[in-house]
Amino acid sequence: MIIDIILPLSLVFIMFSLGLSLTIGDFKNVAKQPKVFAVGILNQMVLLPLVAFGLILFFGFTSEMAVGLMILACSPGGVTSNILTKLAKGDTALSISYTAVVSIVTVITLPLITGFSIHHFMGAEAPPINVVSLGFTMFLITAIPVAIGLWVHHKASAFTKKFEPTASKISAILFVIIVVAALTSEWDVFINNVTILGPGIITLIIVMLLLGYGSAHMFKMSEAQSVSVAIATGIQNATVGITVGNLILPAGEGLSVLSLPSGVYGILMYLICVPIVIGYVKLIHPRLGG
């Protein structure tokens, strides 16, 4: 019961804090750069799930781990992608625009792809899933908090400016607690699958960063835009993945086994992405004329 209440409420607050960092202009920016936006959205909405599906087959994920990874691959980006984009000297405004729109769109795409994944990988063992109900729940715990945060930012910008740093710190603490809970509650399953989960997730992160960066250059985007597309493509909101996994297959005392890939991803994302970003800023970015 505690997990069933605390986990969704934590995600609600995290998404609310995301909304505090958004403005209406972030959504308007989409119309101003249709090509740039389209590439990033296609990478996240289409390419990422396809690559995840391929890696599941390549690494031989168990059925539950496969569904968990697909849930993660359908999750939106988050504040982390915006922070890393800024650190990498990318187009932060573009990154925020991606985050804003994808957070809304995944209310539809995540339940649909998750429903397919459950029936495909779990077959007769698949838990019952109501795609419409899951979509509505996603709307309540992701889209609505983002919208409220956006509204608060619009109506009380002075308050937002003061509270946003605190909200970001609280969100970071909640994220750490959720990831640790995901790993400890399914520790035996994690240990039994770590040799597959670890390499599979690391490969997913690196492949998507490279594909995002390469696809942006292929469409002749600026270096700053290419960095934004790469990070938006390679970094997902692990908290959403953990929460959705628990909504679909509640585990009673702990977190769902379907949440485990997102929990592992939540740690590896920082261990892989931060060194890559730092290396890019120190070694590659100066040579490109900064």
For residue 236, what are the contacts with CB-CB under 8 A and spacing of at least 6? 48, 72, 73, 75, 76, 77, 78, 265, 269
For the chain, percent of residues with pLDDT exceeding 90: 24
Instruction: State residue 205's pLDDT score.
Output: 93
Instruction: State residue 48's pLDDT score.
Output: 94
Average pLDDT over residues 64-92: 87
Instruction: State residue 252's pLDDT score.
Output: 63
Instruction: State residue 280's pLDDT score.
Output: 77
Tokens 């249709």 belong to residue? 34
For residue 155, what are the contacts with CB-CB under 8 A and spacing of at least 6? none
Topology (CATH level 3) of domain 2-282: Na+/H+ antiporter like fold (1.20.1530)
At 226-255, the pLDDT tens digits run 999 999 898 888 888 988 888 888 766 667
Task: Classify residue 91 as exposed, middle or buried by CB count within 10 Å of its CB (0-12, 13-18, 19+).
Answer: buried
Instruction: State residue 160's pLDDT score.
Output: 87
Range picked from 77-86, 176-185, 233-242 for highest mean pLDDT: 233-242
At 114-156, the pLDDT tens digits run 999 999 999 888 888 888 888 898 888 888 888 898 899 888 8
Given phi > 0 = left and psi -120 to 50 = alpha, else beta, which region is 256?
A: beta
* Number of alpha carbons in the 13 Å side-chain half-sphere of residue 218: 11
Farthest-apart Cα atoms in the chain, separation: 56
Residue 66 clears pLDDT 70, i.e. is over it = yes
Nearest Cα to Cα of residue 3 among 265, 245, 266: 245
Amino acid at 233: T
Q: Which two tokens stand for residue 144?
A: 């609505």
* pLDDT category of residue 59 using cuts at 50, 70 and 90: very high
Average pLDDT over residues 271-282: 83
Secondary structure of residue 251 in the 3-state scheme: strand
Given phi > 0 = left and psi -120 to 50 = alpha, else beta, which region is 33?
A: beta
Residue 84 clears pLDDT 70, i.e. is over it = yes
At 109-123, the pLDDT tens digits run 999 999 999 999 998
Average pLDDT over residues 81-94: 83
At 36-58, the pLDDT tens digits run 888 988 998 899 999 999 999 99
Q: Which two tokens stand for residue 285?
A: 């970015």
Instruction: State residue 2's pLDDT score.
Output: 52
Instruction: State residue 22's pLDDT score.
Output: 78
* pLDDT category of residue 212 using cuts at 50, 70 and 90: very high
